[in-house]
Structure 1
Amino acid sequence: MASLKELRARIGSIKSTRKITSAMKMVAAAKLRRAQASAEAARPYAAAMRRMLGELAAAVQGEGGVPRLLSGTGQDKVHLLVPLTSDRGLCGGFNSNVHRLTVQTIRRLQSEGKTVRLLPVGRRALNFFSRDYADLIVDHVSGVSGKEIPFSVASDLGEKINALVETGEIDVCALVFNKFHNAMTQVPTSQQLVPMLMEERGAGDVPADNVAQYEFEPDEATILAMLLPRNLQVQIYAALLETAAGENGARMTAMDNATRNAGRSIDSLTQVYNRTRQTNITNELIEIISGAQAV
């Protein structure tokens, strides 16, 4: 049985840990409000851009000279996966979910005879994939999470991907990230960026025959060549914002659970401390009484 001194030390240590986790929870909650607002504000813009480019792409289908960001290289051999994670831990299974989905995708593609390349974003992704998949990493980005994310990060990343596509080094590119749902739920998602997927029309959409016909100036192909790189950057930026919101939500939830567990541990150890202290007092009284009777 632990001594009273050891129990006091353990209780004091857990109380200090509880103060830290409680403070981290409040910091994450404050950051979450801003990150969530940014992620939700970016969703309509990213969706509208995909929809607009889909309509433009439908107008140039079958024509020559279509940009590779839209049509791809014509092959399906080399896939680039871009897992988005945080730079820091202490956020539950947030990063592990992205790692798991990425590994599953890697194994599936390799079983189909495809070549896989990785471009990890976030220090946690880089550390994880450097252990078992270091030979697949072509580049990496870190030092992004934990602060306001500038659009230049998505712009630089989009330019790297665009360069790999234009030189024919990759055929397909997909993001793997956690889509923010609420503070307790982040959904691991894989989103294909290259070639751009056309959004299917829903049951309530206007039929294709009734869609208004537009004349574009300049022509559709020129507009696509200008907007497709921008769309790539916008989709990456939206995913980065989703990742930032999900990270803060996961960290807030994890720190809240840690604070609660620390409180339960303190209560349990306090009970053990009190019982041990009472036992020691009882033993001392018995020794005193036994000694008095012996005299």
Structure 2
Amino acid sequence: MASLKDVKSKIGGVKKTKQITKAMNMVASAKLRGAQTRIERFRPYAEKFYGMLTDLAGKTDETAHPLLAARDDVKKTGIIIATSDRGLCGSFNVNIINAALKLAATKKAEGKQVAFYCVGKKARDAVSKTGYELPMQLTGQMNQFDFTLANKVGLQVIDHFLSADLDEVFLIYGQFVSLARQTPTTLQLLPIAPAESIEEKTGVTKEYIYEPEVNGLLAELLPRFIKVQIYRGLLDTSASEHAARMAAMDNATRSCDDMTAALTLLFNKTRQAAITRDLMDIVGGAEALNG
């Protein structure tokens, strides 16, 4: 049985760990409020932009803009993966990385090359061990970022697509659904696929009118559309990271309480055993003297 000093030392260590996990939970909660507000404000704009652009793409020919052109022979796939820079957020990063690697394995099995564009240290570290091409790796920026980060990623991806270095591009990120649920999500960015028409879905005819002409809008809106969707993915990932870390630290704090209770019980049992041994020694000595 462990000594009283060892058990007491372990109890002290667990209590200090609890202080750290509780503080990290509070920090994650504070950051989550800001990140959640940002994604809840931006998501309706991104979704409406997505619906409008895919409808716009369905009204024109693929030859109207290079970003609409689907390649007959897809040789190389680009995957943008967004994770956090830090860990201690449960399985959040692992789930996103697994989804990205699964997509990469599927494309590789089809005979296509795969290149990763990583945003976040965890994504970079995981992909660098796989041997896949890594033309972009941005780390240390997920804690505080703005649209400039999405613009940087979008410009490079668009440039590689237009120069035929990439034939298709996917975005994988952690979608913030709720405090308890963050879902790895895959979105095809390039080529932009036309959406199913509202008439085909509901039987209701709905016509959008664009000014100026559709072809004139594409050159301005398509590049921005890519960057908006990337920014939406980054915001979702940021909010999901803080929610996952808050839940992980809350679980860790409860585990510390359980460990403290178990160690306190062990401490009491150890102390009682020591007292019993001392009493037995005293009684044995007294009996020996009486004898």
TM range (shorter): over 0.9
Cα deviation, residue 178, structure 1: 1.0
Between the aligned partners of 1:191 and 1:215, the Cα distance in structure 2 is 26
Q: Which amino acid aligns with 2:129?
A: R
User: Are 2:251 and 1:250 aligned?
Assistant: no
Q: Which residue of 2 aligns with 1:116?
A: 114
The change in CA–CA distance for 1:205 and 1:260 in structure 2 (over 3 A counts) is farther
Deviates more, 1:174-183 or 1:247-256: 174-183
Contact 2:55 2:197 in 1 (8 A): no
- Pairwise CA RMSD of aligned residues? 1.5
SS at match of 1:247: helix
Deviations 1:79-127 (A, max 9, x none): 0011110000000000000111111111111111111111111000101
Cα deviation, residue 74, structure 1: 4.5
Deviations 1:129-159 (A, max 9, x none): 11122x4211111112222x21100011110
Q: Which residue of 1 aligns with 2:134?
A: 137
Contact 1:73 1:165 in 2 (8 A): no
Cα deviation, residue 205, structure 1: 6.8
Contact 2:35 2:239 in 1 (8 A): yes
Between the aligned partners of 2:261 and 2:203, the Cα distance in structure 1 is 59
SS at match of 1:181: strand
Q: Which residue of 2 aligns with 1:216?
A: 211
Contact 2:92 2:241 in 1 (8 A): yes
Contact 1:73 1:168 in 2 (8 A): no
The change in CA–CA distance for 1:201 and 1:60 in structure 2 (over 3 A counts) is closer
Between the aligned partners of 1:240 and 1:137, the Cα distance in structure 2 is 19
Contact 2:56 2:194 in 1 (8 A): no
Cα deviation, residue 216, structure 1: 2.8
Deviations 1:158-196 (A, max 9, x none): 101111011110010001111111112111111010011
The change in CA–CA distance for 1:171 and 1:242 in structure 2 (over 3 A counts) is same
Between the aligned partners of 1:283 and 1:123, the Cα distance in structure 2 is 56
SS at match of 1:10: helix
Cα deviation, residue 29, structure 1: 0.9
Q: Which residue of 2 aligns with 1:43?
A: 43
Aligned pairs (5 A) from 1:123-272: 123-133=121-131, 135-147=132-144, 149-202=145-198, 203-204=201-202, 206-207=204-205, 210-212=206-208, 214=209, 216-217=211-212, 219-272=213-266
Cα deviation, residue 73, structure 1: 4.3
Between the aligned partners of 1:109 and 1:67, the Cα distance in structure 2 is 25
The change in CA–CA distance for 1:142 and 1:80 in structure 2 (over 3 A counts) is same
- TM value normalised by structure 2: 0.94
Aligned sequence identity (%)? 37
Q: Which amino acid aligns with 2:248?
A: A
Between the aligned partners of 2:46 and 2:194, the Cα distance in structure 1 is 14
Between the aligned partners of 2:210 and 2:278, the Cα distance in structure 1 is 98
Cα deviation, residue 197, structure 1: 2.3
User: Are 2:282 and 1:292 aligned?
Assistant: no
Aligned pairs (5 A) from 1:19-38: 19-38=19-38
Aligned length: 287
Stretches of structure 2 that go unaligned for 5 or more consecutive residues are none
